[in-house]
Amino acid sequence: MIKVGVVGYGYWGPNLVRNLFEVSETEVVAVSDQREERLALVKSRYPSVEVTTNYRDMLANNEIDAIAIATPVSTHYDLAMQALQSGKHVMVEKPMPSTSEQAMRLIDEATRRNLTLLVDHTFVYTAAVRKIKDIVESGKLGNIYYYDSTRVNLGLFQHDVDVLWDLAVHDLAIMSYILPNAPCAVAATGINHVIGGTENLAYLTMFFEENVIAHVNVNWLSPVKIRRTLIGGSKQMIVYDDMEPSEKVKVYDKGITLNSGTDNLYKALVGYRSGDMFAPHLDVSEALKVELQHFAHCICTGEEPMTGGFMGLQVVRLLESASYSMKHRGRLVELAADGLGIRTGAA
């Protein structure tokens, strides 16, 4: 039985505690939060769980094997590093830290101590995203042409990160999971409409060596909540709508065919193919529960998590590059071939 301490009982912490109680491999020992009223809520719902306003109490508890961190982004690095240095496995909310340098330090510390470091990119563990990965890897889509996502809603405005770090982080994790290659260049534009705030609307474009393009539209000022992604391939195309109660993933046998009867490419005839649509069956397991089961499995076996430190690092470096581009009104930023660093600086 893996004994877990949870840091932060605000928006996401209650979901972590609830699911940790449902996972047979884990036991919640303690919850830490600086607000007494939140700890009182924990105690009323889970009388067996210890509560504390002092995070170090959990670090000093030798019974605790792992720490799950659900606090503001600006606190992730310090809390995760302290947990690792105390010999605890760590699950940290997305994005992993605020900078890629901090991400590398966390990876090095976890590696040196042989500890599991998992980043809570929950969407990767949804049945829909896992099914999309299976379809892409099967080759049924053919050559991938594009990834196009709209992820918008009204709020919640974050005080310590902009809309890219809050919403686009989900698509960057999904892309890192399902696409075989990393972007080679990034460009982003955005704007802030709240005095003293961060960008609340942004458009992020990513370029790949393989003639693939990705575009992500994120917005805290939309009158409606939209979570829709299109993935286009040479053979089939996918529509992934997370707001659908069922049939979240639809695969369309649609596309184009080039019927060239001449050497002149501009005279090539474009034919349109329109076939059937099917919606694959998806399991109904809660993604966070699947993720926590995976976390426990990795702790027990020493396997690298699907959303381990290196995926967390890749996502943070993409966000850093996007933020730089956005501050410079869409300046193109070229990346290293592995997507893990800037290759030639801003172009």
Per-chain mean pLDDT for the chain: 93
Same-domain check for residues 139 and 246: yes
The residue whose two tokens read 């947990």 is: 83
The residue whose two tokens read 């302290």 is: 82
Same-domain check for residues 38 and 146: no
**What percent of the chain is modeled with pLDDT above 90?**
86
**CATH number of the CATH domain containing 190:** 3.30.360.10
pLDDT, tens digit, 9 for 90 and up, residues 5-22: 999 999 999 999 999 999
pLDDT of residue 273: 75
**Angle, alpha carbons 270-276-280 (nearest 5°):** 125
Same-domain check for residues 179 and 235: yes
Same-domain check for residues 154 and 106: no
pLDDT of residue 347: 39
Tally the residues of the chain: 347
Interatomic CA distance for residues 312 and 190, integer angstroms: 23
Cβ 256 vs Cβ 272: under 8 Å: yes
Same-domain check for residues 185 and 320: yes
Four-residue CA torsion sign, 307, 313, 316, 317: negative
Interatomic CA distance for residues 222 and 167, integer angstroms: 13
CA contacts within 13 A on the Cβ side of 229: 22
3: β partners: 27
Interatomic CA distance for residues 88 and 68, integer angstroms: 10
pLDDT of residue 256: 76
Ramachandran region of residue 188, left (φ > 0), alpha (ψ -120 to 50) or beta? beta
pLDDT of residue 152: 97
Q: What is the mean pLDDT of residues 64-83?
A: 97
pLDDT, tens digit, 9 for 90 and up, residues 232-261: 999 999 999 999 998 999 999 987 776 765
pLDDT of residue 337: 64
Range of the domain at 132: 124-283+316-346
- What φ, ψ does residue 289 adopt, rounded to 5°? -65, -45
Same-domain check for residues 189 and 329: yes
Cβ 263 vs Cβ 273: under 8 Å: no
Same-domain check for residues 193 and 109: no
Same-domain check for residues 170 and 267: yes
Same-domain check for residues 77 and 40: yes
Same-domain check for residues 297 and 202: no
> What Rg, from alpha-carbon coordinates, does the chain have?
22
246 token code pair: 């069922």
pLDDT, tens digit, 9 for 90 and up, residues 324-333: 999 999 999 9
250: β partners: 239
Q: Are strands 342-346 and 117-120 parallel, antiparallel or unpaired?
A: unpaired
Collapsed DSSP state (helix, strand, coil) of residue 298 = helix
pLDDT of residue 124: 98
Where do runs of H (alpha helix) occur along 46-194?
55-59, 73-85, 100-112, 127-138, 163, 169-178
pLDDT of residue 286: 96
- DSSP per residue, 68-102: EE-S-HHHHHHHHHHHHHTT-EEEEESSS-SSHHH
Interatomic CA distance for residues 342 and 334, integer angstroms: 6
Orientation angle between helical segments 309-327 and 100-112, nearest 10 degrees: 170
pLDDT of residue 100: 95
330 token code pair: 């869409």
Same-domain check for residues 140 and 252: yes
Ramachandran region of residue 113, left (φ > 0), alpha (ψ -120 to 50) or beta? alpha
Same-domain check for residues 291 and 217: no
Work out how many domains the chain is built from and give that number.
2
pLDDT, tens digit, 9 for 90 and up, residues 184-230: 999 999 999 998 889 999 999 999 998 999 999 999 999 999 999 99
